[in-house]
Amino acid sequence: MSSQPSSVLVVDDEPALRKALRTSLIASGFEVEEARDGEEALLTARRHAFDLVLLDINMPGINGIDACRRMRGISPRAGIVMVTVRDSEDDKVRALEAGADDYVTKPFKLRELTARLRAVLRRTRVAEAVQASVLQAGKLKIDLERRLLWRGDEEVHLSPTEFDLLAFMMKHMGAPLTHIKLLRTIWGPEYGGELEYLRSYVRMLRRKIEDDPAKPEFIQTEPWVGYRFRNPSDPDSPPAEDGD
Amino acid sequence: MAGPFGGGAKIMMMTLIREEQVRDSKPRSFVKRLAVGSIAVALLTLVSYHAHIDFPSVIPLYTLLVVLQSLTGDFKSSAVISVLSAGCMDFFFTEPLFSWRIAHPLNALALVAFIVTALVITSLVSQVRKEATSATLQKDRLDRLYRLSQQLLALDPEEARGEKFLEPFHRLFGVTAISLFEADTAELHTAGYSRFDLADKTRAAYLSGDDSGDASRDSGSRVFVRCLRVRGKVTGAIGFEGLEDAAETGGSLTALTTTFIERTNAFRKASVAAAAAQTAVYRSALLDALAHEFKTPLATILAAAGGLREAGPLASAQEEMADTVENEAARLGSLTSRLLRTARLDSEEIKPRMELIDLTSLIGQIASQHSARSPERPIVLTNPHEAVEVQADPALLRLTLNQLVENACKYSKPGSVVTIAIQRGADSVAMKVSNNGSSIPSDEKGRIFERFYRGAEAKRSTSGSGLGLFVARKIALAHGGNLDLETPDGESESITFCLKIPNLKDEAYHVLTAK
């Protein structure tokens, strides 16, 4: 990673939260700019590019979802993390569909937030770099060109669809992937509602790659949203969601 | 001569219409009409005889008399008058005079022709009159029904209840009393004054559902009772006292009442539903606003506490306090989430999003969370080693189990053990959460699942909304299962809640979601 601190644009209508986030994120090694609402955020983003945008979903004026969509148009390379309030899975799915890279739910611990921000940052940088043909996560190793998967030294045999699904998830390691996105990417654009397909494939994949399929280490369920492939050896990998 | 007779006939016809409605007086009027007719025949005979009118000329005069008689009287009296007229003509006007014998055959033929003509006219006229009478009555009845429905329609559906609804019946149909029993509200209303316990008879008819017997139509007391039926279901009863033509009008009035009560009820249900929908919308908006209002300051506290640690090296005591602030604020956040979530589920229909989940690992997570939070109450898991997979909504199931475990901790003494057990049945899985050292008074057992209910002890010693168990059971029911209190025999110092959900195979699950 470069020594240059990453720049974050914090967009929230609550001044106290903006101030606390600015101080804390600066202390955590980020460079911080603030915006009070969606319009100001878009104006600021036009003036100069940010590495990350932390965008509240619930703001006066243009709402967070619209702001996110327009922000994507202005700075396609910025990592966007949406801040949702209620445990509304609909908000999360809409945020991801509007182009957000991840989301955090208020209230969040600072460490959780910085871990998310760093993970998103790394993912956006990897995406820019030349895509490697061999990816590794813990003891899993996948060869995208030769379509092979190893678990430790042992080769795991996957059906073509299983391989495509796992490969897609591993290429987006750490990112939340909605059901609909997975279905449309792997099965085709006419799919979207067939959650049962996806669930049964995920179940089969877990049986093949997890030590204990009931406590998955790699393929995490994001309740009501979709799945997230977690790299166990990544210190910033988000912890499994506490649905409490 | 015809003039005064005709005028009298008109008046008599009107009285006859009235008289026909009152059957008791019929024989008397027959005798009266017969007497009047006979006097008229006698007068005509006397006048014609002294005026030396011959037989051919007298026939039209008698014919005119019979026509007038049939216009005013019924068929029977007119027929008698016809025969009487023929006798008079025979006796006083045909040769030989003052004898019943008829010398000339043509005269006999003329008399027979007279009788036939008179009878035909009489029968036709009386038939026409009868039809006119019934048409008048029918028109009058329809007119009153029409005015009744107009007046009922003019009532505000909000207020068209009870006496206000009955008043137009009372006014337009001249009944002495009218009673209405509505099954929906179990309200009994009476307008007017009843001498024959109309209200009781009306309610009794609803209770028995039988309005065809003698009791419902008592001619002595002139009480007429009918059940109100909607699609075969008895929705109430209506009773009339002193209703004329009950046989003809009663049915229409009952049908009209049924229709109007249905209309009023439909209106009321629609307004209640609209109000409830509006309340749900407001409530949802309020909960969203609350979520935002509570969680933003919490996020600020967490960001500040986290930043404090990042900002500089802290002494270990300071570090510990920053941790405490962070942990407690995070806990407050998850409590808020859960409270708001429970409040939302309380007002909404719960639609679980089923996934295949492993209960053992879910319960393991919940147990370790609670152990960390309240280490003074150890949690023991039975059967924790095997995976038990069920179709359930993980977030909702977690909410329910958290509620049960939290209650078990909250309502037991420190140091007592909380047990969670999983029992697999043939077609269901039971999760049992028990604690020791507490009990629920037997009079409270039936009520703990009620919305907002909080036991006497709970009110005194702990905080809570009284929504937890209500919503927990609602979630269990939405899964096709149930949540119950298991009561051991005797006075046991333990409480066990049993959450049961169906253990559906994938196929059965598809059927459930397809519905």
Supply the ipTM of this predicted assembly: 0.75
The nearest CA of chain B is from the CA of A146 a distance in Å of 33
In chain A, DSSP assigns E strands to 7-11, 31-35, 52-56, 79-84, 102-105, 134-137, 140-143, 148-151, 154-156, 176-178, 219-222, 226-229
pLDDT tens by residue, A33-79: 999 999 999 999 999 889 999 999 888 888 889 999 999 888 888 99
Torsion angle of the four alpha carbons B125, B126, B127, B133, in this order, in degrees rounded to the nearest 10: 110
The nearest CA of chain B is from the CA of A144 a distance in Å of 30
- B297/A contact by beta carbon, under 8 A: yes
CB distance B311–A24 less than 8 Å?
A: yes
pLDDT of residue B13: 42
Domain boundaries, chain B: 2-141, 155-348, 355-514
- Looking at per-residue pLDDT, the higher value among B11 and B499 belongs to B499
Whether A55 contacts A41, CB under 8 Å: yes
- Looking at per-residue pLDDT, the higher value among B483 and B356 belongs to B483
Average pLDDT in chain A: 86
Q: Are strands A79-84 and A7-11 parallel, antiparallel or unpaired?
A: unpaired
Chain B residue numbers with beta carbons less than 8 Å from the beta carbon of A108 are 299, 302
Q: Is the pLDDT of residue B456 over 80?
A: no
Chain B residue numbers with beta carbons less than 8 Å from the beta carbon of A244 are 334, 337-338, 369, 398, 402
The nearest CA of chain A is from the CA of B303 a distance in Å of 5
Judge: domain A7-128, CATH 3.40.50.970.
no
- A60/B contact by beta carbon, under 8 A: no
- B171/A contact by beta carbon, under 8 A: no
Contacts 24+ apart (CB under 8 A), B11-19: B12/B72, B12/B73, B13/B71, B13/B72, B13/B129, B16/B72, B16/B74, B16/B133, B17/B133, B17/B136, B17/B137
Confidence of residue B126 (pLDDT cuts 50, 70, 90): confident
Model-wide pTM > 0.80: no
Interface mutation vs chain B, best among A24, A195, A210, A220, most B CBs within 10 Å: A24
Confidence of residue B489 (pLDDT cuts 50, 70, 90): low
pLDDT of residue B12: 41
From CA B478, how far away is CA B354, in angstroms rounded? Answer: 11
Chain B residue numbers with beta carbons less than 8 Å from the beta carbon of A107 are 295, 298-299, 301-302, 329-330, 333
pLDDT of residue B5: 41
pLDDT of residue A87: 62
Tell whether the torsion through CA atoms of B106, B110, B116 and B120 is positive or negative.
positive
Assigned CATH for B155-348: 3.30.450
B441: left (phi over 0), alpha (psi -120 to 50) or beta: beta
| Residue of A17, A28, A224 with shortest CB distance to B299 | A17
The nearest CA of chain B is from the CA of A143 a distance in Å of 30
Q: Is the pLDDT of residue B19 over 90?
A: no
Chain B residue numbers with beta carbons less than 8 Å from the beta carbon of A20 are 300-301, 303-304, 307
Most confident of A128-142, A160-174, B213-227: A160-174
Asked if the peptide bond before residue B96 counts as cis, ω within 30 degrees of 0, the response is yes
How far CA A77 is from CA of A22, A35, A84, in Å, comes to: 22, 19, 22
Q: What is the mean pLDDT of residues B277-303?
A: 81
pLDDT of residue B384: 57
Q: Is the pLDDT of residue B509 over 50?
A: no
pLDDT of residue B470: 83
3-state secondary structure of A176: strand
Q: Which two tokens stand for residue B288?
A: 């969203």
Instruction: Compute the residue count for chain B.
Output: 515
Q: What is the mean pLDDT of residues B106-131?
A: 88
Residue with tokens 């460490």: A111
CB distance A86–B288 less than 8 Å?
A: yes
Domain boundaries, chain A: 7-128, 134-229
- B512/A contact by beta carbon, under 8 A: no
- Looking at per-residue pLDDT, the higher value among B460 and B7 belongs to B460
CB distance B307–A85 less than 8 Å?
A: no
CB distance B510–A196 less than 8 Å?
A: yes
Contacts of B490 by beta carbon, 8 Å cutoff, 6+ apart: none
Q: What is the mean pLDDT of residues B87-99?
A: 87
pLDDT tens by residue, B365-407: 888 878 877 788 888 888 656 778 888 888 888 888 988 888 8
Tell whether the torsion through CA atoms of B430, B433, B434 and B439 is positive or negative.
negative
Lowest mean pLDDT across A125-134, B4-13, B104-113, B114-123: B4-13
The CATH class, in words, for B355-514 is alpha beta
Widest Cα–Cα separation across chain B? 155
Confidence of residue B514 (pLDDT cuts 50, 70, 90): very low
Query: Which option is the CATH number for A134-229: 2.30.110.10, 3.30.413.10, 1.20.200.10, 1.10.10.10?
Result: 1.10.10.10
Lowest mean pLDDT across B12-26, B244-258, B343-357, B434-448: B12-26
- Looking at per-residue pLDDT, the higher value among B287 and B189 belongs to B189
